Amino acid sequence: MKKVRVLIAKPGLDGHDRGAKVVAKFLQECGYEVVYTGLHQSPEQIVNAALQEAVDVVGISVLSGSHEYVFPEVMRLLKEKEMEDVLVFGGGTIPEDDIPALLATGVKALFRPGTPLADIQTFMKEHVG
Amino acid sequence: MRYVEGALKGHQLSGARLIRLLEDGDPEGIAGLKALYPHAGRAFILGITGPPGAGKSTLVDRIIGEFRGRGLKVGVVAIDPSSPFSGGAILGDRVRMQRHATDPGVFVRSMATRGHLGGLSRATGEAAFVLDAMGYDVIVIETVGVGQDEIEVVDLAHTTAVVCLPGMGDDIQAMKAGILEIGDLFIINKADRPGADEVAKQLAVMLDMRHIPHGEWMPPVLKTVAVKDQGITEVVDAALAHRDQLAASGKLAERVNLRERHFFRTLVREMAAEKVFGAVEGTAAFAALLEDLRDRKTDPYSAAEGLVGRLSFQA
Amino acid sequence: MCMDRRDETLRLEAERWQVGVDKSVGKHPERKASFESLSDLPIGRLYTPRDLPGFDYVEDLGFPGQYPFTRGVQNTMYRGRLWTMRQFSGFGSAEDTNQRYKYLLDNGQTGLSVAFHFPTLKGVNSDHPLSRGEVGKCGVAIDSLRDMEVLFDGIPLDKVTTSMTVNHPAPVLLAMYLAVAKKQGASWDKVGGTVQNDPLKEFFAQKSYVWPPRESVRLLVDTMEFCAKHVPKWHPVSISGYHIREAGSTAQQELAFTLADGIAYVEAAVARGLDVDSFAPHLSFFFDAHLDFFEEIAKFRAARRLWARIMKERFGAKDPKSLWLRFHTQTAGVSLTAQQPLNNIVRTAVEAMAAVLGGTQSLHTNSFDEAEALPTEEAVTVALRTQQILAEETGVANTVDPLAGSYFVEALTNEMEKAAREYIRKIDDLGGMVAAVEAGYPQSEIIRASMEFQRAVEDGRKVIVGVNKYVKKDAKPLHLLKIDDSVERAQVARIAEVKKNRDNAAVEAALGRVRDAARGQENLMYPIVEAVGEYALLGEVCGALVDVFGAYQDPAIF
């Protein structure tokens, strides 16, 4: 039986995990296996978890404004570890203006506040089934 | 072969991907496992079981630290239940093992039960295998703690620790008789809470009823407060002492052998069933058989005999 | 006899009305099959005296300033003094925020409220590895007394009150604030303000915890003891429901869990040997003002009445001030949308009005761009003006508790109190709030409420204008406030400078004394004040406490 495995991560010092938990629970209800990292993850910890857990997708929730540091750093580490086939998406308070630069690093999608969960489900179905 | 070389060198990415292939039932995974087989069998496998809420993950986290302090590399398979409704799962055990998150000598793999009808999924044993071949000295299997998996982990592990809570009272009685009979060490976690001594007494009574012959391993009852790092050294000492005694008495080899044979028999059963159903599924004759079963024109025994009777096997 | 006849007339009239309603609804169904509040309380079509059986003005409401304080804690409320307009603010460096504070004070803000960046909230310095990308982003960067001095440069601390939103590390920030006051020549008995310092909600709502539950409560009681003695006008704690609500709870849960936290703190202080009337008057609270207008007003009124009853009946408090629930309110951040952001001005205004009609002592109004970033000067000005317009132009502040006696509002207030009592009873059964937190009870309630809310939004059962109804692509994105990385570099440099210029031996010795006190029973505020005075860094003082208390690990309860 094949199942899609997803890592949901909360980087940095920010403790606002309502969004991350809601998305994690929703993805579980959609039938995915969701490894939740918990709070206060460094980019190394996130990538290390993605590696050991052999996940197909990594979802990162950032509400502290540190997205311009976190996403590029995670993408860099994934490349270094030869894990570029892992899909990365993100969510949180990420201003519209900052999105193109982040997508350019290889992040597949960024879901801003107010995104319906259904959109995340569509994204997952399209990319990993 | 992909990943095998890397896994044997201890490369985490290779091992991780191989475990994934096995978990997904990919034939490439099985090919890899065959190649790894001669290299496995070194690791000490420790099973941790017990009801939800007992603090198993925190305990495992501290146990990892203790083993690491003794220079041993640790692999962990942490199991969480899949939802019977959605088939998905939230795997949150890793959260409690944060302090080892970037230690290259630790590998944590979260696994969902994937609707495995009670008990441990095959993938759990396979993952332990891969970690063994990768060179991890200790492999900890942390179970969900409900259902058959508690018993089955005993098959898989060399030493099984059963975790209880103070105040469990009547629940001790309700705990599956099997696990109380088979556990090699008993841990009362969160022992700073009231009722720890009562549980210890009850366990002592249960152990007494096992009538363990003199000279054989007497399961200790240990108290821990995992969040405060209390009692962990004693737990690891006891686990290793058990392993050593098994090894010295020859029982370890016996257990491992039994385990592999059990696993082999399970595989044969599963593969044979897959072969049979693979051959008949979708055929009109099979559909007719199922209808007869539904209409009570035949019974399950006769139906099964009919199918299996058509199997022939050249020994 | 007269009453019976009036009741009978009422009943007959009600029945007559119902017949008419049934006919109308039969012909033309109502907009929805059922109506619920935002927190899923059933809302009836009409409320009449029949919804308030046994209603007694003196028992249930009382007069403002008199037990049970349903109508307000002061007897003239806003006719005597308007609520404090206290905009939460902080970003970048201490210099940046000092400028913003001066701007706000010049524009009519009447009290300061400090937002610290994440490293400070978590008790680590700007040069900590996990601080990468976070310095100055969500609040002002404060690493040492040096930064605090800059933050309040030119602001007289004996004239302006300040609320500091920080929790586990609050004692250290308070010590810094008091050191600045001393340097300014302001005596501590004139210094007024609040530290949030509410440790329990960190474990299930805001999650800026550092040390474990029991140790964090010990530190709170130390602060309460210290302030009662040395800084009598200071509120050593702001028992908060805001974050609980923002984390996804219902209004009833917000109310219940907040008061349950309060009960736990009062119990801890009493266990320490403090007389309840010696510290209870200094307690303060902090609530969310969400969008369901009447539900929020009912919540605030129920909060006052329930707390007064708890303090009197459960703790035997004698001083009337011990029974007061004084609170600050912030309009609901979680109600703001990134889509069509100007709509947020309306949301904030309605929420602010609910807070005022609910009798808040101070208020923060969110800015319209805050779904996405920290507010620009333009946006924060609109937010401040919202309060000023409410106060000066609408008349809502001209009489005390104007909605009292509304059958609907009184029925809802009763409903809120009842629901909160039920939760508090459950928490008592679990052994109190500390035990409930350790058992994961509030955490699991909150995740459940969050999921239900999200489902309701996805189904369209709960409407969010601009998000799931009346959706329209925004013409152009807002101009947002951006904090760049220069703040991080500057802070790292400043930390190095502070370390160079201070007496490092004295710092080490002071940190040693912090550890000693933590291991024993001594009040930690004294060694913390001492260490801070030697320019020990926030991360160093908190690190010393972590050495003894341990660091809390969140178990991620779903």
pLDDT tens profile C27-76: 999 999 999 999 999 999 999 999 999 999 999 999 999 999 999 999 99
Residue B310 has pLDDT above 90, yes or no: no
With b for 16 or more beta-carbon neighbours within 10 A and e for fewer, the B139-167 pattern comes to bbbbbbbebebbbbbbbbbbbbbbbbbbe
By percentage, how much of chain C surpasses pLDDT 70?
99
**Burial of B4: CB neighbours in 10 Å, binned 0-12, 13-18, 19+:** buried
- Structure confidence by residue, pLDDT tens digits, C443-496: 999 999 999 999 999 999 999 999 999 998 877 777 888 888 899 999 999 999
- Using the predicted structure, report yes or no on whether residue B118 has a pLDDT greater than 80: no
Instruction: Count other Cβ atoms within 10 Å, centred on residue C83.
Output: 23
Question: Residue C375: which residues within 8 A CB-CB, separation 6 or more?
Answer: C366, C367, C369, C383, C481
**So what's the pLDDT on residue B152?**
73
Q: Residue A14 and residue C138: Cβ atoms within 8 Å? A: yes
Cis preceding linkage at B300, omega within 30: no
> What angle, rounded to 10 degrees, do the helices at A117-127 and A18-29 form?
50
Measure the CA–CA gap between B198 and C325, rounded to whole angstroms.
44
3-state DSSP call for residue B277? helix
pTM of the predicted model, to two decimals? 0.88
Segment B196-213 mean pLDDT = 86
Q: Which of residues 130-189 of C touch B (CB under 8 A)?
A: none
Q: Which chain B residues are closer than 8 Å to A53 by Cβ?
A: 16, 91, 94, 108-110
Q: Which residue of A has its CA nearest to C370?
A: A93
Contact A81 B13 (CB under 8 A): yes
The chain A residue lying nearest B91, using CA atoms, is: A35
Q: What per-residue confidence (pLDDT) applies to C545?
A: 97
What is the average pLDDT across C211-231?
A: 95
| pLDDT, greater one: C518 or C110 | C518
Whether B86 contacts chain C with CB within 8 A: no
* Interface residue ranges in chain B relative to chain A, Cβ cutoff 8 Å: 12-13, 16-17, 19-20, 24-26, 82-83, 85-92, 94-95, 98, 101-102, 107-110, 112, 114-115
Predicted local distance difference test score (pLDDT) of residue C12: 95
Q: Cβ contacts (< 8 Å) between C546 and chain B: which residues?
A: none
Q: For residue B70, what pLDDT is reported?
A: 97
Question: Which pLDDT value is given to residue C26?
Answer: 94
Over range C186-205, report the average pLDDT: 96
Nearest to C350 by CA among C366, C371, C372: C366
Q: Which of B296, B3, B242, B288 is nearest to B130 (CA)?
A: B3
Residue C147 has a pLDDT of 97
What pLDDT does B53 receive?
A: 81
Cβ-Cβ contacts under 8 Å, C130 against chain A: 12-13, 40, 42
CA distances from C438 to B54, C265, C267 (A): 13, 16, 17
Least confident of B19-28, B196-205, B236-245, C9-18: B196-205
3-state secondary structure of C346: helix
Q: What angle do CA C360, C74, C300 make, to 5 degrees?
A: 35
> Mean pLDDT throughout C211-219?
95
Average pLDDT over residues C283-287: 97
Q: How far is residue B60's CA from residue B78's CA, in Å, rounded to a whole number?
A: 9
**Vertex C481 angle, CA C479 and C485, to 5°:** 130
d(CA B177, CA B113): 22
Tell whether the model's pLDDT for residue C345 goes beyond 70. yes
Query: How far apart, in whole angstroms, are the C-alpha atoms of residue C366 and residue B305?
Result: 74
Residue B171 confidence (pLDDT): 66
Q: Residue B178 has what pLDDT?
A: 67
Dist. CA B59–CA B53, nearest whole Å: 11
Of A83-97, B263-277, C185-199, the least confident: B263-277
Higher pLDDT, C172 or C111: C172
Judge whether residue C107 has pLDDT over 60.
Answer: yes
CB contact under 8 A, A38 and B90: no
Q: Is the pLDDT of residue B116 over 80?
A: no
Q: Establish, for the pair of chains B and C, how many residue pairs have beta carbons separated by less than 8 Å.
A: 16
The ipTM estimated for the assembled molecules is 0.94
Q: Which residue in B102, B227, B230 has the most chain C C-beta atoms within 10 A of its own C-beta, making it the best mutation to test that interface?
A: B227
What average pLDDT does the structure give for chain A?
95
Q: Answer whether residue C239 shows pLDDT above 70.
A: yes
For residue C483, the chain A residues in CB contact (below 8 A) are 65
- CA-closest candidate to residue B179, choices B210, B154, B143, B142: B154
With 60 as the cut, is the pLDDT of residue C1 above it?
Answer: no
Which chain C residue's Cα is nearest to B99? C553
Q: Which of C203, C207, C447 to mutate to test the interface with A (most CBs of A within 10 A)?
A: C207
Q: What mean pLDDT is predicted for residues C394-410?
A: 98
Residue C223 near chain A (CB below 8 Å):
no
The mean pLDDT value for B3-19 works out to 96
d(CA C339, CA C474): 7
Contact B96 C553 (CB under 8 A): yes
pLDDT at C369 over 60: yes
* Cα dihedral sign, B32-B33-B39-B43: positive
Q: Which of C553, C554, C557 to mutate to test the interface with B (most CBs of B within 10 A)?
A: C553
Give the C-alpha separation, C66 to C320, whole Å: 8
- Closest residue of chain A to C483, computed from CA coordinates: A65
For residue A38, give the chain B residue with the closest CA: B95
Selecting from B57, B58, B92 the residue whose C-beta is nearest the C-beta of C558 gives B92
Q: Which residues of A touch B94 (CB under 8 A)?
A: 35-38, 49, 53
Q: What residues of chain A score a pLDDT lower than 50?
A: none
Cα A8 to Cα A36: distance, rounded to the nearest angstrom: 5
Using CA coordinates, name the residue in chain A closest to C453: A22
DSSP bridge pairs for C165 = C115
**Do the chains contact at B96 and C550, CB–CB below 8 Å?**
no
User: What's the DSSP call for residue C36?
Assistant: B
Structure tokens at A43: 């980019």
3-state SS assignment for residue A8: strand
Q: What does the H/E/C string look like for B152-181?
A: HHHHHCCEEEEEECCCCCHHHHHCCHHHHH
Q: Which of B151-160, C438-447, C508-517 has the lowest mean pLDDT?
A: B151-160
Q: Which of B25, B83, B107 sits opposite A1 (nearest CB)?
A: B25
Predicted pLDDT at B119: 59
Q: How far is C554 from chain B (nearest CA, A)?
A: 8
Report whether C515 contacts C547 (CB < 8 A).
yes
For residue A115, give the amino acid letter: T
pLDDT at residue B205, as a whole number:
85
| pLDDT in the model for residue B146 | 66
Q: Do B83 and A28 touch (CB under 8 A)?
A: yes
Q: What is the pLDDT of residue B136?
A: 97
Other CB atoms within 10 Å distance of the CB of residue B135: 17
Q: Check CB contact of C553 with chain B, cutoff 8 Å.
A: yes
Residue C537: phi, psi to the nearest 5?
A: -75, 155
Q: Average pLDDT of chain C?
A: 95
Share of chain B above pLDDT 70, in %: 93
pLDDT at C553: 86
Nearest to C555 among B90, B95, B228 (CB): B95
Instruction: Name residues whose C-beta falls within 8 Å of residue B237's C-beta, 6 or more positions apart in sequence.
Output: none
How confident is the model over B138-164, as a mean pLDDT?
82
- Determine, for residues B95 and C556 on separate chains, whether the beta-carbon distance falls below 8 Å: yes
**Least confident span in B140-154, C260-274, C318-332, C390-404:** B140-154
